[in-house]
Amino acid sequence: MGRPRLQALELTGTPRERGVTHGATFADEIAANLDRYLDVFEFKGSDEETVYEQAEAFVPLIADENPAYFEEMQGIAEGSDLQIEDVTILNARYEVMYSAFKSEADDLDDTAPLDGCTAFCARPEITADGHTYLGQNWDWVPGIETFVMDVRRDDAPNMVAMTEAGIVGGKIGVNEHGLGMTLNGLVTEKDGEDPFRKPYHVRFREVLDSTRMDEAIAPLITKPRACSANVILAHADGEMIDFELAPETVNYLYPEDGLLTHANHVEDRTRMNSEFEKLTPSTLFRASRLRRLLATNRGEIDAEVVMNAFRDHFSKPNSLCSHPDPDDPELDRSQTNGSFIMDLTDRRFLGTNGPPCENDYHEFRVA
């Protein structure tokens, strides 16, 4: 059924050794992702020369912000036989994308950003087994190569996390301490004005490197960001916070009746505006749709209930389970590239390679 199963790769040793393993194993996929993003960036307004100029500026920034992360990037470059600037483009791709997209977002034309995810988290009191569940459908440009990192270390938490080939920081994952995170795109007015800030993927690795909730919060909020994003951060004990992150400000949202859902528009507009819904109106119903599908199963929510919700096709193709719109330009099409469900209590990670209506979920566990 559907595509080949989601690949996993065990990463051990020093940061450099993990990077070399990553780079050598997925050399072709990393090169393909780089080519794909260069095409997307050009479509969004940044030519290749400009993108590489930005990458050169990010190299010392990342090395200063997180030397271990940068060492792992160097290992990826070595293992895949690419330059460090090539790998940097992938690891700072949010910041490059939003910088390129800024002029289009200001004009609010009909060229939409590509990221349109829908996420949830459920407290133990409303689930069937008393576990905490977290997950999302990850909607993005087709053709991006992904895998699950199975990271095993002596000096930091073990984790499993979905990442794109060539990127050190996993964007959806859970670690051995029961901390998990999801990611959704947002668009606000100051995105891309100052792109040279700690990239989101560096922050995400730091979140999953944490042993406590407060440690995991810090990378998201202590320094200004280059662009906007939404992160649900949760713990197996049932604590969860939704962070609406803009470059200079942050909103904090908490569950209602044991449930959090979020799509791609800002829910709390008291301190920031919201632009995504003007470009992709489906965000205005996707989160509420997911909430209703899950809430009707209050007390019975488990992985199967979530899977069925994530397969929902209301308003297809721009549905929870999203499919490419043939009327969109090729480089502006979006689909559900993967669906991910985490049982934080059991440190269990379920994921698909492609839309969940066409592909099976496969299970991974934190070592």
Q: Name the H helices within the chain.
A: 15-25, 27-44, 48-65, 67-80, 84-91, 93-107, 200-208, 213-221, 276-279, 283-295, 303-310
Q: Is 314 in contact with 116 (CB distance < 8 Å)?
A: no
pLDDT greater than 50 at residue 280: yes
* Terminal alpha carbon distance of the chain: 28
Q: Decide: pTM greater than 0.85.
A: yes
Let me know if domain 113-365 sits in CATH 3.40.50.150.
no
Q: Please name the residue that has the structure tokens 């910088």.
A: 99
pLDDT at 255: 98
Confidence of residue 356 (pLDDT cuts 50, 70, 90): very high
Task: Over range 62-91, report the average pLDDT.
Answer: 98
The per-residue pLDDT for range 152-181, each reduced to its tens digit, is 999 999 999 999 999 999 999 999 999 999
Confidence of residue 105 (pLDDT cuts 50, 70, 90): very low
Cα-based angle 184, 166, 280 (whole degrees, multiple of 5)? 25
pLDDT greater than 60 at residue 144: yes
Percent residues over pLDDT 70 in the chain: 94
Task: Over range 25-39, report the average pLDDT.
Answer: 97
Task: Over range 259-277, report the average pLDDT.
Answer: 95
Confidence of residue 116 (pLDDT cuts 50, 70, 90): confident
CA torsion sign for 245, 164, 92, 114 is negative
Percent residues over pLDDT 90 in the chain: 83
- List the one residue out of 5, 95, 115, 112 whose CA is nearest residue 50: 95
**80: Cβ contacts below 8 Å, ≥ 6 apart:** 23, 24, 26, 27, 30, 31, 87, 166
pLDDT at 329: 67
pLDDT at 214: 98
pLDDT at 184: 94
Q: Is 204 in contact with 183 (CB distance < 8 Å)?
A: yes
Alpha carbons 159 and 178: distance in angstroms, whole number: 9
pLDDT at 46: 83
Output 126 or 47, whichever has higher pLDDT. 126
Sorted by where each begins, the domain ranges of the chain are 113-365
The per-residue pLDDT for range 191-203, each reduced to its tens digit, is 988 989 999 999 9
Q: Is 141 in contact with 334 (CB distance < 8 Å)?
A: yes
pLDDT greater than 80 at residue 142: yes
Alpha carbons 19 and 74: distance in angstroms, whole number: 7
Sequential DSSP letters for 113-173: -S---EEEEE-GGGBSSS--EEEEEEEE-TT--EEEEEE--SSS--EEEEEETT-SS-SEE
Q: Which residues pair with 229 in a beta bridge?
A: 185, 245
Does residue 317 have a cis bond before it (omega within 30 degrees)? yes
What is the SS3 string spanning 82-124?
CCHHHHHHHHCHHHHHHHHHHHHHHHCCCCCCCCCCEEEEECH
Confidence of residue 109 (pLDDT cuts 50, 70, 90): very low
Task: Over range 75-87, report the average pLDDT.
Answer: 98
Confidence of residue 75 (pLDDT cuts 50, 70, 90): very high
pLDDT at 108: 44
pLDDT at 100: 62
Alpha carbons 32 and 86: distance in angstroms, whole number: 11
**CA neighbours closer than 13 Å in the CB half-sphere of residue 90:** 31
Q: Is 230 in contact with 237 (CB distance < 8 Å)?
A: no
pLDDT greater than 60 at residue 102: no
pLDDT at 101: 59
Burial of 8 (0-12, 13-18, 19+ CB in 10 A): middle
Containing 275, the helix (H) or strand (E) segment is: none
- List the one residue out of 145, 24, 40 whose CA is nearest residue 75: 24
pLDDT greater than 70 at residue 112: no
Output 303 or 275, whichever has higher pLDDT. 303
Residue 181: DSSP 8-state: E
Task: Over range 95-124, report the average pLDDT.
Answer: 69
